[in-house]
Amino acid sequence: MVDVKLWAGLVPLADNQQTVTVEAGTVRELLRQLGDRYPGLREPIKNEVAVVMDGTIYRNDWSVELPENAEVFLIRRLAGG
């Protein structure tokens, strides 16, 4: 089980939950479950989110495995210069 914390912009799309618990082994499974449970999240998950796992930001690699007790945070996909 993983506790996924959502950035404030996603909270209204997830029945106002700031933290959602899912059973997932990879980032892909995690995002799929979030989308299944809260359809409003499907659109931002497509291209607006990045996943922070134990402090490291992942923008594309949804195959990354979620370590036991990992801290997982969904943040806005960032722009850079």
Partner 1 sequence: MNFDPTYRSQKFRSVGTRPRRPDGIDKVTGRARYGADFNMPGQLVGRILRSPHAHARIVRIDTARAEAVKGVKAIVTASDLPDLTNGNQSLFNILDNCMARSKVLYDGHAVAAVAAIDANAAKQALKLIEVEYEVLPHVVDVDAAMLPDAPLIDKTLFTGGVEPTPETPSNVALRSEFGHGDIESGFAQADIVVERSYRTEQTHQGYIEPHACVASCNSDGTAELWVCTQGHFVFRQTCADLLGLDVSKLRVTSSEIGGGFGGKTHVWVEPVALALSRKAGRPVKLVMSREEVFRASGPTSATSIDVKIGARKDGTITAAAANLRYTNGPYADIWAELGAMTSFACYDLENVKTVGFEVLVNRPKVAAYRAPSAPMAAFAVESTIDELAQELGMDPVEFRIQNAASEGTKSSYGPVYGPIGIGPTLEAAQSHPHVKAPLGPNQGRGMACGFWFNFGGQTCTDLNVNVDGTVTLAVGTVDVGGSRASLSLIAAEELGIAYEDVKAVVADTATLGYNDMTDGSRGTFSSSMATISAARNAIGVMRHRAALQWDIPVEDVTWEDGNAKASGEKYGNLSPLSIKEIAAASGNTGGPIAGHSEMVADGAGVSFATHICDVEVDPETGSTRIVRYTVIQDAGKAVHPAYVEGQYQGGAAQGIGWALNEEYIYGEDGRLQNPGFLDYRIPVCSDLPMIDTQILEIPNPNHPYGVRGVGETSIVPPLAAIANAISNAVGIRMTHIPMSPPRILAALNRERNQ
Decide if residue 69 touches partner 1 (CB under 8 A): no
Q: Which is nearer to partner 1, 37 or 59 (CB)?
A: 59
User: Would you say 37 or 58 has its CB closer to partner 1?
Assistant: 58
Which residues, other chains included, contact 17 with Cβ-Cβ below 8 Å and sequence gap of 6+?
A: 6, 11
- 42 forms part of the interface with partner 1 (CB under 8 A): no
**68 counts as binding partner 1 under rule CB under 8 A:** no
CB neighbours of residue 4 within 10 Å: 24
Smallest distance, partner 1 to C-beta of residue 35, A: 19
Reduce the secondary structure of 13-58 to three states and give it as a string: HHCCCCEEEECCCEHHHHHHHHHHHCHHHHHHHHHCEEEEECCEEE
Interface positions with partner 1 (CB under 8 A): 5, 7-9, 12, 50, 52, 54-61, 64, 71, 73, 75-76, 78-81
